Chain A
Amino acid sequence: MKKSLSLRAAILSVALFAVFVLAWQLATLPSAGTETMDPEYAKLLGAAASTGQKSSMPTPLAVATTIWRHILDPFYVNGTNDKGIGIQLGFSILRVLVGYLLAALVAIPLGFLIGMSPLVYKALDPFIQLLKPISPLALYTIKDSDTSAIFVIFVCSIWPMLINTAFGVMAVRREWLNVARTLEVNAIRKAFLVILPAAAPTIMTGMRISIGIAWLVIVAAEMLVGGTGIGYFVWNEWNNLSITNIITAILFIGLIGLIFDQLLARLARLVTYPE
C-alpha cells in the first residue's frame, strides 16, 4: 500500500540525517597517534590535537554530549564569560524582540501613510532609497553597545516591513475602495476595516522577512558588541577552540530562527483570506 507523502518524506529525512551523521563519524575517526609533536605545543593546542586526532572537528557523539549538557543546564552562571546557552539565547531574543517591535511600531504606520498618500511616498522615497542599502552594522558606532545592538536590529528589520506595508496598502483593490466610497465609510473605518485587512497578508510577509533578517544580524552584531548574547557565545567559544560548543550554538540559532519563522507563518495564516 502507498504510504502518505509526509510519512515517506519523514523516512527520507531520517535516512539523510543518518547518512550525514555516519559520514561525519567516519570523517572524524581518530587515527592512531602517528603524529609526533612537541609536548609543550600539544599542551597548548588542547586535548584533541595532542591525542593525535586528525582534525579539530569533534565527533558526532562529542557534539551530542555537549548539546545534552547544555539542555540539562541552560541557565548556569560561572562568571562573566561562562554563562549557560539559555541565558545567552535569552539576551539575543530579547534584543531582537525589542528592536523588531520598535521597528514594527514605526514601519507599519509609516508604510500605511506612504501607501495611502502618493505625496508622502514621493517625499520619503529619496530618503528610503538612500538609507536602505546601508549595512546596519555600519551604524554600530553610534551609541553604547547594548543600545547599538537593538538599534542595528531596528534598522535592519524596518525596511522589509515598511516596504511591504506600503506596497500592500497601495495594492488594495480599487473595487474594495469603491465599495467603501459608495458606502460613505469614514477614513478611520476605511483604514481599519478595509485597507488593513486587505493589506494584512502582505504586511505579514514583510514582518516574516524582517524577523528572519533580524535573527541573522543579531549574531553578527553580538560578535562585535561582546558581553552577552548567542553571537558573543559563538565568538567566545571560537576563542576557546571549543568546536563542540560552536556547533551546539549554531544548532540552537537555527532552531530559534525556525521557531520565529513558524510563529509568524501561523500569524500570517490567521490574516490570510482566500479570494
Chain B
Amino acid sequence: MKATSPPMIQVQGLAKSYGPTTVFGDLWFNVEPGEFVCLIGHSGCGKTTILNVLAGLEQQSGGEVIVAGTQIVGPSLDRAVIFQGHALLPWMTVMGNLAFAVRSRWPKWDKAKVRAHCQKYIDLVNLTGAEGKRPAALSGGMKQRVGIARALAIEPKILLMDEPFSALDALTRGVLQDEVLRICRETRQTVFMITHDVDEAILLADKVLLMTNGPEAKLAEIVVNTLPMDRSRSDVHRHPAYYPMRNHLIEFLVNRSRVFNDEIAARPFDARHRPFVHPGAREAGVVPLAANGRNPGK
C-alpha cells in the first residue's frame, strides 16, 4: 500500500558549486510520505546548502527537486523550516510569532480562529502558559519549541530541520528529541533533518543519508534504521541492533567519509542508485528493503 503513493521529495541530480568549487554534484534520493530522513555528514559537505535548496532559500547549480509531484521554485508554505538558531522575531510574543505564520498561511481566518489554531500548537510543544512571553524571556529549549510549533502550525507537507538541537544543552536536547519523535509519530509528518549527531539520527530517523566529505561530496549510502518504530531515548540503547547501527554510522563518519573515493575507485559509481544498508538487520530480525527503497513483496 505504501508503494503506491509517489515519493514526497524527489531529489534528482542536485548539484551546487561556488565558482570553480563543486560542493556536491549529482545527488539523487527520495523521501517517502511520512518518513523521517536524516542527513549526516561533516561540515563542508553542503548539508545546509541541500536543506536551503529544499527550502527554496538557495538556488542549486544543477538538477531539480520535486516535492509532492511539483518541481520547486523558491520558498513555499508547503515546506516549513526549523532553523538552527530558532529565528523567532524578538519583538513578537510566542503567540505573535505563531500567529504571524498562521496568518501567512490562511490570510482569511479571523482572529479567534488564528488564536485557537496557534494555541493548539503551543499546547502540542508543551508551552502552555508562555503565550504572552517574548523570546528573550524564554530559555534556549523553549525558543526552539516555539520554532517547532511555528513550523508545524502552518501544516506543511514537509518539515525541514537544520541541526535544530545543536545549540542546546544535552538534557534539553534529549527532551526535545523525545517530543519531536512523539509529534512526528502522531502526525505522520514527512521530515528531512540535517544533523551531525549519530544518536539523534538513530533515535529519530527512518533512513539516514550518509554524505562523504566535501568538496565534491557524494551520497555514499542510505542506512535504513533497523530499530523498532516504538523506540524511545530511554531504551533504544538496549536493543540488539543499536550497536551495529551506531558502529556503522560512527565508522562512516570517522573513516569512510574521508576515504570513500578510494573505496569506490575500483567500480563505477552510480549516483542514481545508492545502496541501502541495514546494519543490525539480523539482530533486529528486519527484512531488508528492495533496491528501490521500498518494502519488498506485496
Contacts and interface: CB of A to CB of B under 8 A. Distances in A.
Contacts of A130: none
Contacts of A179: 83, 87, 89
Contact of B56 (A175, A182, A274, A275): A182
B54 to A, nearest CB: 11
B65 interface: no
B91 A184 contact: no
A182 B89 contact: no
Contact of B77 (A176, A184, A197): A184
A184 B134 contact: no
B105 A273 contact: no
Contacts of A176: 87, 89
A184 B75 contact: yes
Contacts of A175: 83, 85, 87
Interface string B101-127: 100110000000000000000000000
Main secondary structure of the interface of A (DSSP, over half): helix
Interface residues on A, range: 10 to 19
A181 B87 contact: no
Contact of B101 (A181, A183, A197): A183
A198 interface: yes
Contacts of B89: 176, 179, 194, 197-198
B76 interface: yes
Contacts of A271: 91
Contact of B136 (A185, A193, A198, A275): A275
B219 interface: no
B91 A273 contact: yes
Nearest to B101: A183
Nearest to B100: A193
A178 B150 CA distance: 14
Contact of A185 (B57, B83, B85, B104): B104
Nearest to B86: A175
A273 B90 CA distance: 6
A59 B160 CA distance: 76
Given A175-B87, A176-B87, A183 B154 contact: yes
Q: Which of B74, B76, B81, B91 has the most CB of A within 10 A?
A: B91
B79 interface: yes
A184 B83 contact: no
Nearest to B85: A175
A183 B77 contact: yes
B77 A273 contact: no
A194 to B, nearest CB: 7
B80 interface: yes
B96 to A, nearest CB: 10
B90 A182 contact: no
Given A194-B89, A197-B89, A275-B90, A182 B55 contact: yes
A183 B91 contact: no
B105 A183 contact: yes
Contacts of B85: 175
19 contacts: A175-B83, A176-B87, A178-B57, A178-B83, A178-B87, A181-B56, A181-B75, A182-B56, A182-B75, A182-B77, A183-B101, A183-B104, A184-B75, A184-B77, A193-B100, A197-B89, A197-B91, A273-B91, A274-B136
Given A183-B100, A183-B104, 13 more contacts: A175-B83, A175-B85, A182-B57, A182-B75, A183-B75, A183-B77, A183-B105, A184-B75, A184-B77, A184-B104, A198-B91, A275-B135, A275-B136
Interface of B: 55-57, 74-77, 79-81, 83, 85, 87, 89-91, 100-101, 104-105, 134-136, 154
